[in-house]
A and B are shown apart, each in its own frame.
Chain A
Amino acid sequence: MHPIDWTVLVAYVVWILWDGVRRAKDTDKVEGYFLANRSLPWWAVGLSVMATQMSAITIVGTTGQAYDSGLGFIQFYLGLPLAMVILSVTLVPFFHKAKVYTAYEYLERRFDVRTRTLASLLFLLGRTFSLGVVLAAPSVVISAILGWSIPLTILVLGVPMVVYTSIGGVQAVAWTDVKQMVIIVFGMLAAVTVLLLGILPEVSFGRALDLAGATGRLEALDFSFDLSTPYTFWSGLIGGLFLSLAYFGCDQSQVQRYLAARSVNEARHSLLMSGYVKIPLQLLILGTGVLVFVFYVFQPPPMLFNRAHDDLVAAGPYGAEYAALEAEFDAAVIDRSEAGTAGNRETFLTRDARVAEIRARAVGIVKATTGDEQFNDVNYVFPTFITTRMPVGLVGLMIAAIFAAAMSTAAGELSALSSATVIDFYRRHFVKQATDAHYLRVSRLATMFWGLFACVVAVNSVNRGSLIEVVNRYGSFFYGSLLGVFLLATLSKRATSTGAFWGLIAGMTVVLVVAFTTSVAFLWHNLIGAVVVFAVGSAISVWKSRRQV
C-alpha cells in the first residue's frame, strides 16, 4: 500500500480513538456511561443503530455475494422497515416509560427475575462469541490485504475499539459510529465512481446493466414459496420481519442505543431512519458488487481473488495444471470481453459460463492441494478491487471504511455486553447496594474484560469455519424465542411469569429441533420461535390461572 494510504488509515484510527476517548468527560455516572444520560439526538442514534448492524462482512461479503450471484440478498432486509414501524408503536414506548438500562430489566418488571436472567444470559452467551466472530471474520481478509498476521490484525482492530468503548461508554460508541457511518457511505460512493469510470469508456450504462441482467444478477426478487431457499421474497418479508423485530426489539446492542435517545419520539425517529435508509443503503452495497462484476468483464480479473495459497498450489502436485488453467482463463476472459462489447447476449452468456467453469476448477485445485474445504474466494473480490484498482488515497479510505464497519459493530456489542453483565447480573444478583462510582468502575472493567475475551475468541476462531457458522446460527436459535417473550409481555395482559419462562424454554427447544432435523431456512426460525413462545406461554398462563381459580 502507498504511504499516502497508510497515512489515511493511521489518521482514521487515531481520529476515532481520540474522538471516543474524549467522550469520557460525560460519563462520570452509570447512566452516562451506558445511556449517555438519555441525551442523544435522533439522527446520531439512527446512524449508530445502522453502523452497529453493518459489520465489515456486510461490506466485504455482500459485495462479493452480489459479484457472484447478484442482488437477491436484498430480500433479507424486506421485513426491516415494517419492523421499525411496529417497534416504534409497541416496544419503544414501553422501554422508555420503564426507564430501564437493559431490555431484559423490563422482563423482571413485567414477569419475574427468573425470566429476566434467562433472557439476559441467552443474550450474553450469543453476543460474547459473535463479538469474537465480528472481529475474526474481517481480520482474515484485512490481514491478506495488508500482509499482517491475523493476531496482529485483530489487535489493531480490537485494542483501539476496546480502549475508547471502555473509557467513553455509549457516548463514545454512538459518536464514533456517526463518523464511521459517514466514512462507510463516502467510501462506497467513491468505489461506485471508480467503477463507473472504468466501465463507461467500454460500454454505455444501459449495456452494462444488460450484461449484468443477462447473467441473472439483477433478479432481486424470488417470489417462490420454498421454505428451504434461504432468501426469497416471503422469507425476507415474513421471516426477516420477525428477525428484525427480535434484533432491534430484544437485542441489547440495539435497544441500549435507542434508550440513549433524548425522548421516546427521538428514539422512534432513530429507528424509522433505518426504515427509510436501510434498503437503499444495502442496494448501494449490492449494486457495487454487481458493478464490480461488469468492471471485470472489461478489465482483466485474476482467476482467483484469494491468492493466499498461490505458492502452495504452484509447488504442489497440481501446479502445472493450475498454470495451464490460468492461461485458459486469460483467453476466456478476452473472449467474454469481446462478446460484452459486441452486445450479443447469447454469446456473452456462453462465454461467461466458460469463465465461471474455469474459476470453479481453480477453486477445486486449491481445495485439493491445501485440503481447505472452507476456501473462500467471494470475500476477497471487493478488497482485491480496492487494493489493485482504486487510486492512491481512496485505497486508504476504503480500508478505513472496512475498519470502521468492524469497529462500530464490535463497539456496540461490547458496550451492550458490559451493560447486561453489570445491570442484569452484578448489580441484580451479587452487589445490590453500592455507590454509583463503584458500579461505574465495574462497568469499565467489564467492558475491558469482554473486549479482551473477544480478541482471544477471535484469534482462536479464525481457522475454524464451522465454529463461525455455529456462532452465527446460534443467534437464530434464540432470537425468535426472545421476541416471543417480549410479545407476551406487551401484548398479553394475562401472561404470567411461569408461562413466559416455560414458553421461552419451549420456543428454543422447538427451534433447535427444526434447525437440526429439517431444511427450513434460518429466517423462518425467528417466526417459529416467536409463535411457539407466544402460544405455549399464553396456554400455560391461562391453564395456571384457571387452576388457581
Chain B
Amino acid sequence: MTSRQNEPSLTSLYLGVILVEVALIAALWLFSRAY
C-alpha cells in the first residue's frame, strides 16, 4: 500500500480524534449541568 493511499484514512483518523474529544467535552458539560 502506498503512502498516498494511506493519507485519506490518516486524515479522517485525526479528525475523528478531535471530534471525539469535542463530543466528550460537550457531554461532560451537559452531564454536570443535568446533575
**Residues 198-239 (chain A) with a chain B CB within 8 angstroms:** 209-210, 212-214, 218-221
Whether A82 contacts B18 by the Cβ 8 Å rule is yes
Scan B1-35; emit 1 where CB is below 8 A from any A CB, else 0.
Answer: 00100100010011011101100110011011011
- Residues of chain B within 8 A (CB-CB) of A220 are 28-29, 31-32
Contact of A213 (CB < 8 Å), options: B14, B28, B29, B32: B32
User: In the complex, A244→B20 CA distance in Å?
Assistant: 18
- Residues of chain B within 8 A (CB-CB) of A221 are 25, 28-29, 32
Quick one: closest B residue to A206, CB to CB? B35
Quick one: closest B residue to A212, CB to CB? B35
Whether A272 contacts B24 by the Cβ 8 Å rule is no
User: In the complex, A178→B1 CA distance in Å?
Assistant: 27
Shortest Cβ gap from A117 to chain B (Å): 34
State whether the Cβ of A280 lies closer than 8 Å to any Cβ in chain B: yes
Quick one: closest A residue to B29, CB to CB? A221
User: In the complex, A210→B34 CA distance in Å?
Assistant: 9
Whether B31 contacts A268 by the Cβ 8 Å rule is no
- Residues of chain A within 8 A (CB-CB) of B6 are 265
State whether the Cβ of A355 lies closer than 8 Å to any Cβ in chain B: no
Contact of A272 (CB < 8 Å), options: B3, B14, B25: B14
Whether B25 contacts A276 by the Cβ 8 Å rule is no
What number of A residues sit within 8 Å (CB to CB) of B? 27
Shortest Cβ gap from B32 to chain A (Å): 5
User: In the complex, A268→B3 CA distance in Å?
Assistant: 13
Which of A83-91, A370-378, A381-389 binds B? A83-91
Contact of A280 (CB < 8 Å), options: B18, B24, B25: B24
Quick one: closest B residue to A223, CB to CB? B29
- Residues of chain B within 8 A (CB-CB) of A265 are 3, 6, 10
**Given A88-B14, A89-B14, are A81 and B31 neighbors across the interface (CB < 8 Å)?**
no
User: In the complex, A85→B14 CA distance in Å?
Assistant: 6
State whether the Cβ of A446 lies closer than 8 Å to any Cβ in chain B: no
Quick one: closest B residue to A86, CB to CB? B14
State whether the Cβ of A154 lies closer than 8 Å to any Cβ in chain B: no
Quick one: closest A residue to B14, CB to CB? A85
State whether the Cβ of A8 lies closer than 8 Å to any Cβ in chain B: no
Shortest Cβ gap from A211 to chain B (Å): 9
User: In the complex, A84→B18 CA distance in Å?
Assistant: 10
Whether B21 contacts A74 by the Cβ 8 Å rule is no
State whether the Cβ of A71 lies closer than 8 Å to any Cβ in chain B: yes
- Residues of chain A within 8 A (CB-CB) of B25 are 78, 221
Shortest Cβ gap from A207 to chain B (Å): 11
Scan A251-280; emit 1 where CB is below 8 A from any B CB, else 0.
Answer: 000000000000001001100100110011
User: In the complex, A210→B32 CA distance in Å?
Assistant: 10
User: In the complex, A333→B35 CA distance in Å?
Assistant: 23
User: In the complex, A218→B29 CA distance in Å?
Assistant: 9
Contact of B13 (CB < 8 Å), options: A210, A269, A283: A269
List 5 A-B residue pairs with CB atoms under 8 Å apart, sorted by A's residue number: A71-B28, A81-B17, A88-B10, A210-B35, A275-B17
Which residues from chain B sit less than 8 Å from chain A, CB to CB? 3, 6, 10, 13-14, 16-18, 20-21, 24-25, 28-29, 31-32, 34-35
Lowest 5 A-B CB distances belong to which pairs?
A213-B35, A275-B17, A220-B28, A81-B21, A219-B32
Contacts A81-B18, A268-B10 known; 19 new A-B pairs at CB < 8 A: A71-B32, A81-B17, A81-B20, A82-B21, A85-B18, A213-B32, A214-B35, A218-B31, A218-B35, A219-B32, A220-B29, A220-B32, A221-B32, A265-B10, A272-B14, A275-B21, A276-B16, A276-B20, A279-B24
